[in-house]
Structure 1
Amino acid sequence: MGTREETSTALIIGAGIGGLAAAVGLRRIGWSVTVLERAPIIAEVGAGLTLWPNAERALDVLELDVGPRTIPTISRGNVRTPSGRWLRHSHPEDVGVLAIHRADLHDVLRKELPEAALHTDAEVVSVSPKGAVVCRSAGEEHELSADLVIAADGVNSITRRSLWSGDPVFQHRTVWRGVTPSGSVWPVQESLTLGRGVQVGVLPLPDERVYWFVMVNGDRPNQLYADDRREVLNRVGDWHHPIPALIATTPEDQVLHNDIVDIDPLPTFVNDRVVLLGDAAHAMPPDLGQGACQAIEDAVVLAACLASGDVSDGLKRYDEQRRARVQPMAEAARASVRRTSNTSWLAHFAVSVAARLIPPAAWRKATAQWSDWTPPTLPN
């Protein structure tokens, strides 16, 4: 593999948040990076997300300022019933997060990279453990090679499926997401509304936009609906304000629908010169709000582990550190799915009582335990 005496090279598969963060991190330690994205343009779709303190610290290590694109808020601080009754209000002890639109975070990362490093319409066909990648572009196949291949190609990673194993696992949950037009429903307060087997989240975003999600149980994967917005309104259209208004004002073609899937834990994230990162390595349900945060953590830890110049040793340390951190987290996310998907009256009553009676310090520990993380530093 390459050494720091000669410029080390990396091929990064996937230009999502994890892939771009990895590119930024490796460039910070002097590597040359090439990002391969199968889409014709590099852009992030999706809705809002929360950056917990662990992700904020990781972004600081990458010297990225997302502040102007965020709104400080409290995730899971305000909990309500479908009728609007408050089960819990946020407390000073709660851990603050930054709310950001996924596309804005993606834009901040992309602007740190030179255009020459980003290659679109590059569909990866195969990956060799020795660092060779075959990609198809404009109808032609090209073979590329590098000292390291970073697979950041998501939960359906072709790299993981070909060199490891691990098809996505349907968690019998499905979610609709959307972002309202600026000022259409404003102001709003962050909240999480708990129904029997149903969760509705509301999160304010910059520019007087609002991110919302509706998560419900699903009988089978890949179920399609003729009108997603109408389907969501049929389910929660009689819930408290502003939930119906948020859904109704979101353009129909901007309501996103996805099944909740994850992957079983892998025995390693490294295969010779190929390393998994982000959802390709440890996709988890969104219940903890840590999916994008962990991809950013991966990028920083990988860069720090490779900064010494010994790539083999660096990959070993990355693998050990990241599996020890993310795999228990992924299991905790699955456990959360089991709780929130339970439709029994008794289970819902227990969750509601807990939201009302758990002391603030215990609530903070339960909701924010994964945010207590200190990132490594990168050399100048």
Structure 2
Amino acid sequence: MNLLEFFDTINLNEGDLNHAYKKNQFVNSIEFYHNQDISAFDIAILGVGEDRNSITNQGCALAPNQVRKYLYQLMGFNNLPKIIDLGNFKIGLTVNDTYFALSSIVEDLIKKNVIPIIIGGSQDLTYANFLAYKNLEQTINLVTIDSKFDLGDTEEEITSTNYLTKIILHQPNYLFNFSNIGYQTYFIDKEEVTLMSKLFFDTYRLGHVQKNIEEVEPIVRNADVISFDISAIRQAEAPGNKSASPNGFYGEQACQISRYAGLSDKLTSIGFYETNPEKDINGQTAHSVAQMIWYFIDGYANRKNDFPIGSRKTYLKYIVNIQNGQNEIIFYKSDKSERWWMDVPYPSHEKIKYERHLLVPCSYNDYKTACNNEVPDRWWQTFQKLL
């Protein structure tokens, strides 16, 4: 695939990117696409200025270079992975053309073990990201960091506020699990909460997450795809969004979540959406997104590659008997990262299909829950989906 047909390459001598960069800044740690062998890289940055299906935040198409303006000026760090900036995606004649071409490019990158970082654009681009996995013959987990669920009527055309409905109903269905982090109750219809519960999807209220931000790590570690809506960050820290709310994550929490995402061995694509330069103040939101991307890359550079697939002899194994010994839950702990997983049993004849999902990332708190003779919620939700 000749990506030059799909992207306008970056020119550092034009517009917002024209700057007297220093030698040790981020911009000098990456390459810009000029038909190199993409498989030689670990991470690819894609600007996708598509917002025609944005309902409330048109103007976010201008975000990619605004984010780059600040990203390029950040300092480099040790063990930087090989990164290439592909440039800005050439928007299709129709939005569906954009979805189709973007999904093909993301699919190609994933097949080459290159993680795409998508800088949107509106969040309906998550649908295009999801479609990239159609031909990869695996069920996937999607995590959104968002104050809303983005559900809508099935008959509606896809938009930034209903794209999740299209993903859930897509046939063939290759969505194994959906998790929302940070929803705000006053934005959510009770029927939506009920639907999420019936589908055994995971939803975490903003207040619950903020009490212990470390508990986000296992949720993010279980994701194949992450979609970050910038309106999930409180307005005082990220004003560049027409739907910004007074409440939300703090900037440092958003960066911490992004770093958790980078640390995950399972994650294969991520997108940052809905930054609107027209509403931004002194580039504050674009700068925040740049720092989030920086933290994601920092996490990637520190990956432990300790997902316990195959032999688990090097992991600490804990067997917890619950319900008076009638059942047991097996935990594994990595001696590299001290991260935890739970084993979810499943019939052997179906095991290959769901093998990637039978080890559920968890925390020490889940182990303590099992020791108190209770089934951890993460274990139960996964078990129900496998029935």
TM-score (ref. length: structure 1):
0.26
Q: Which has the higher contact order (CA 8 A, sep 6+)?
A: 1
